[in-house]
Chains A and B, each alone.
Chain A
Amino acid sequence: MIMSEKSKQHVDSCRFCWMCHHICPIGNATGQERNTARARALGISLVNREAIDLSEIMDNIYECCTCGACVHDCVTGWDPVMFTKETRLKAALEDKTPDYIKPLIANCLATGNAYGKTEICDRLAQSVKAHADKKDILLFLGADARFMACEQALKAIKVLEKAGVEFTVLEKEPASGVQLDFLIGAANETKAQMEECAEVLNKYKTVVLYDPNDAKAVKQLYKEYGVEVAANAVTYTSFLADLIKEGKLETKQSGRTVVFQDPYQLSRDLEETEEAREIVKAYAKLDEMLLNRAETVWAGNILMAQYMPEVIKLVAKRRIFNAKSVGANTIVTASVAEYVSLKAVAEEENSEIISIEDLILG
């Protein structure tokens, strides 16, 4: 396998370093040694030295959620996410992608989303239709909300309606490219999706990115790929926080005490931690989990649940345990993916999961 020199350097630094062992949400949930940055680096280093075949480590390469907890934790700046994604790309080029990943990639290329969906639910379609007219503001819902969490998408629209915002929702949204970036890294196909998406976004003055994953892509990854976004791209949470500040969204204390689950894309990648807290505090009493803000622990996503559902359940349960450790029974999310993941185990864990939209809409 031919890797970039930069990735090789990071691999050879991480392969014998255990310092981020405690922080991996997958490793902590499964208890499997292979789910650590150093194990992944060791495997890749042995592939580079032809001591093991790439195909024998690929399952493990796809067990990484790329949340960047290890990158954030590393005081010397080594980046396991970088070499993990590069290995995914190399595997794709060498036709060594695991069989269960290939259909997800094919779906992304064919339909723009890993789930292979082409139709949104009827209620969402109606709601979208009501916002078909071109306005200055575009609400970009993202594939997870549109195809896998229709109720959340509806609520996202409803909150903006409640604030009297005039906005457009696209009947057919382009793929942001973030799913393909996760599955095969910096491939030409990924960049092509991003370019296509940017072209659409650039028709609007402001783009409100509902899904933190898309927000990370548009506000951060696009720059790394050399894709220009002229529109003012803002996260859904920062947009809502401004609406509250401007008095456009009515606030009312609900009397409940909650903790907030920071989506890593906002807190680590985009360094946005307080906007969501301002929203939550306008409606409830906010407590904090021990690992919060940039130290947040990823609580699962929908894409990985397609091929490792049991692990995603373990991840979500562990995060609920963190909340319960500080006596909190209600977790507020700002990410569709984490909402769905946590909700899937909430009943079993006797815990309540609500989204920021739920909190606002009451």
Chain B
Amino acid sequence: MQYQMNEFLFAMILTELEDAVGKENCSTRAIDKVTHSVDYYWLSRMWADRGCRMPEADIVVCPNDAEEVSKVLKIANYYKLPVTTWGAGGGTQGGAIPVAGGILLDTKRMNKIYEVNTDGMYIECGTGAIYKHIEWAANEVGKATMHYPSSLTCSTVGGFLAHRGIGVVSTKYGKIDDMVLQMEVVLPNGDIINTSPAPKHAAGPDLNQIFIGSEGTLGIITKAQIRIFDQPEERRFRGFLFQDMTGAFKASRELLQKFKPSVMRLYDEAETVSLIKKIVGVERKGAFMNVAYEGAKEMVEVEEKILLDTFKKYGAEDLGSEYGEKWWKEKITFFYPGHMMDIPQCFGTMDTIAPYGKIEEIYWAMKEAIETNFPQAKFIAHFSHWYEWGAMVYDRFIVDGKDVPKDPVEALRLHQAIWTCGVRTALAHGGVVNDHHGVGIKLGRLMKEQYGPAMQVFEGLKKTLDPNGIMNPFKLGL
């Protein structure tokens, strides 16, 4: 049934939501609505910078647990109100922006740490916990989460799960989808479910992986058991300079058949002479690569020998440990205002992933496509998450402020055009829509281009679980 919201009905719904989560956790105040309307997505930032208000939720609710989330979703389903889930707002794809209004559900009150289990090696926590807080909890018992993205301090556990995030030591320890044991999820109809008690099983498809990366379109993850690891006895760094990226790819592919370093970051020439020069101090031409390896001391000794022997074969110049250590110390500094790209520049990270044999081709094709079609854009990249079979490219475009239209709609058009060009090029050469930032509203339109008829699997799940289409509308292409 279609209906038009009116003041009376709105007031009625508000009282129901207040009853569900408590009056103090339910807001229609301008500051709460504005705060939840701008996330890390460039378009939302540009919009606000131009003095425009982004689409806002009508009501912001902050539930305390799955039971309260369930109540909210039942109310939302009854009145057919959109529900957008918000973690901490650190997403770059506009996934948490309430573009259709309705209810904004902020998860941060669900931040309890229920258990630090050193037998099972996991922390059970509410998904509203800031990841850094569970890292602290792990550190208190001498462990670590080994999930260290640049947004460690400003994103929630649920946020990382929702868009399949990744951290800088992923090559050894895995992506967020490797970090989870069991999850509690509230389905759109309000039912509270638990995924399998263990993630590795043959009891049908992996329920975790249906909800991880679903960006709040299929349900709301409210609790998770997140893996923890022993702190490494030793963590060593080594910087290398390759003459070109081709040699680095060959060397890295060979290395990964032998052991898994924790950090592997290969910078293209453009990024080597810009960011790396500024922060790490390397001023040489070529492709800089930083590798970290860690664990039991004896293993680290062996790994270091293998690393040096392997990279030497491919002509890498050994720059010693200083650059790597400095990078580790400064790894988050890159993302603070003053170091990071910022308004008035127009920029974006078009990360994609592919097997060896394709990934370098994708890099060159994207670089050419962006620089040819948008001569005002600079293209830089690094390759920072590696597997035995392939790697991801973290490629960025940057347009100087003077070349960005002042008119917000025109600026939006430019941003969209660059993104479409870059991601379509990646898809045409065997890449994916995104590696670890997610899809959101930014890339939803390109999901069908990647998946083709396979998209009906996602659409079928969406129709079954969320028949009223209330969950995070217009995100993920659903």
Query: Using a CB–CB distance below 8 Å, which chain A residues touch chain B?
Result: 12-23, 28, 30-34, 38-39, 42-43, 45-46, 49-52, 56-57, 59-60, 73-76, 78, 290-291, 310, 325-326
Contacts and interface: CB of A to CB of B under 8 A. Distances in A.
Contacts of B140: 290, 325-326
Interface of B: 24, 29-32, 34-36, 38, 40, 45, 48-53, 62, 86, 88-90, 106, 108-111, 128, 130, 132-133, 136-137, 139-140, 151, 153-155, 332-333, 335-339, 342-343
Given A21-B88, A49-B48, 13 more contacts: A16-B38, A21-B90, A28-B111, A31-B106, A31-B128, A32-B108, A42-B48, A46-B34, A50-B51, A56-B31, A59-B31, A76-B338, A291-B136
B55 to A, nearest CB: 14
A12 B137 CA distance: 33
A33 B89 contact: yes
B35 A76 contact: no
B207 to A, nearest CB: 27
Contacts of B154: 18-22
Nearest to B135: A22
A20 B342 CA distance: 17
A33 B86 CA distance: 9
9 contacts: A14-B337, A16-B40, A17-B337, A28-B111, A33-B89, A34-B32, A76-B339, A290-B136, A310-B24
Contacts of B139: 290
B337 A22 contact: no
B333 A52 contact: no
Contacts of B52: 51
Contacts of B343: 12, 16
A16 B54 CA distance: 14
Contact of A45 (B40, B48, B62, B153): B48
A19 B335 contact: yes
A23 B109 contact: no
B36 A33 contact: yes
B32 A21 contact: no
A239 to B, nearest CB: 34
B333 A15 contact: no
B108 A59 contact: no
Contacts of A31: 62, 106, 108-111, 128
Contacts of A43: 31, 34-35
Report which residue of B29, B110, B137 has the largest number of chain A beta carbons within 10 angstroms of its beta carbon. B29
Contacts of B90: 18, 21
B38 A21 contact: no
Nearest to B62: A31
B187 to A, nearest CB: 23
A76 B106 CA distance: 29
Given A18-B88, A19-B154, A21-B153, A42 B111 contact: no
Given A51-B51, A57-B31, A74-B336, A19 B153 contact: yes
A16 B52 CA distance: 15
A105 B106 CA distance: 34
Contact of A52 (B34, B132, B336, B338): B34
Contact of B108 (A12, A33, A75): A33
B98 to A, nearest CB: 12
Contacts, number: 122
Question: A interface, by DSSP: helix, strand, loop or mixed?
Answer: loop
A76 B153 contact: no
Contacts of A51: 48, 51-53
Nearest to B141: A325
B34 A42 contact: yes
Report which residue of A42, A50, A59, A291 has the largest number of chain B beta carbons within 10 angstroms of its beta carbon. A42
Contacts of A18: 40, 88-90, 151, 153-155
Nearest to B139: A290
Contacts of A74: 336
Nearest to A27: B108
A23 B88 CA distance: 13
A16 B340 CA distance: 11
B406 to A, nearest CB: 13
Contacts of A16: 38, 40, 45, 337, 342-343
Contact of B29 (A50, A59, A290): A59
Contacts of A28: 111, 130, 133
B34 A33 contact: no
A59 B24 CA distance: 14
Nearest to B104: A33
Contacts of B36: 33
Nearest to A57: B31
A51 B38 CA distance: 14
Nearest to B42: A16
B48 A46 contact: yes
Contacts of A59: 29, 31
Nearest to B111: A31
Nearest to B37: A42
A347 B352 CA distance: 54
Contact of A34 (B35, B111, B335, B336): B35
A39 B154 CA distance: 13
Contacts of A46: 34, 48, 51, 53
Nearest to B340: A17
Contacts of A30: 109
B53 to A, nearest CB: 6
A60 B35 CA distance: 11
Given A16-B38, A42-B48, A51-B52, A22 B128 contact: no
Contacts of A50: 51
A51 B109 CA distance: 29
A292 to B, nearest CB: 12
A50 B52 CA distance: 9
B35 A13 contact: no
B133 to A, nearest CB: 6
Nearest to A58: B31
B15 to A, nearest CB: 21
A229 B30 CA distance: 44
A38 B337 CA distance: 12
Contacts of A75: 332-333, 336
B34 A13 contact: no
A33 B32 contact: yes
Contact of B35 (A17, A33, A326): A33
